Chain A
Amino acid sequence: AQSVTQLGSHVSVSEGALVLLRCNYSSSVPPYLFWYVQYPNQGLQLLLKYTSAATLVKGINGFEAEFKKSETSFHLTKPSAHMSDAAEYFCAVKSPQRDMRFGAGTRLTVKP
């Protein structure tokens, strides 16, 4: 079985501060891992994905995530938060020929 746990349903940072959104996964086979962002009243947009190549994955809008097998983690980071980063972020895990499982999401608030 595969699952994802996102620690912290709400994260608040100041503009210009580091963003760290946590994701831990469980999978019986090597997983593919994804981060999606959802802006209000919009569909999910892919930020980045890990597909067993480089463990440090760079995505859009300055986000990156590092796959750490020993910690079963795939945390999302951005060095400097921008007001436009305020949104809901979802981590997801997928094994080959299986469905994608999403975490419950983390709502990021950016304070001016």
Chain B
Amino acid sequence: GAGVSQTPSNKVTEKGKYVELRCDPISGHTALYWYRQSLGQGPEFLIYFQGTGAADDSGLPNDRFFAVRPEGSVSTLKIQRTERGDSAVYLCASSLTLAGRETQYFGPGTRLLVL
């Protein structure tokens, strides 16, 4: 079956611009996660959803970052007034439920470069 997909695969933008990153989870997965991976680092948690609601957004670095999942499936990560420090690979993952033992399946990521 289809895995987690993310679009675009690469995004180049200018400092101060607004960007949207999209994640399509595995069909039927209720939990969805966003991570940010900087060069040479492990993925860093940003936010996760159970259904349509954000169960935990404590990892969002500041109020320029926002994510939605309006119908409990596709999610969009939105970054306002981008800064060069936002450059990273943004990873999305989904799992069947939020239960700790559930495997998170990762997408290939969106590589964001802010010039």
Contact = CB atoms under 8 A, between A and B. Distances in A.
- Categorize the interface residue count of chain B: 20 to 34
Nearest to A99: B45
Most buried by A among B56, B59, B93, B104: B104
B103 A49 contact: yes
B48 A32 contact: no
Contacts of A95: 100
Nearest to A97: B98
Interface in B47-81: 48, 55-56, 58-59
Interface residues of A, number: 28
Interface of B: 4, 33, 35, 40-45, 48, 55-56, 58-59, 91, 93, 98-101, 103-109
Given A90-B43, A97-B100, A100-B45, 10 more contacts: A43-B4, A43-B107, A44-B91, A46-B103, A52-B101, A99-B33, A100-B104, A102-B35, A104-B40, A105-B41
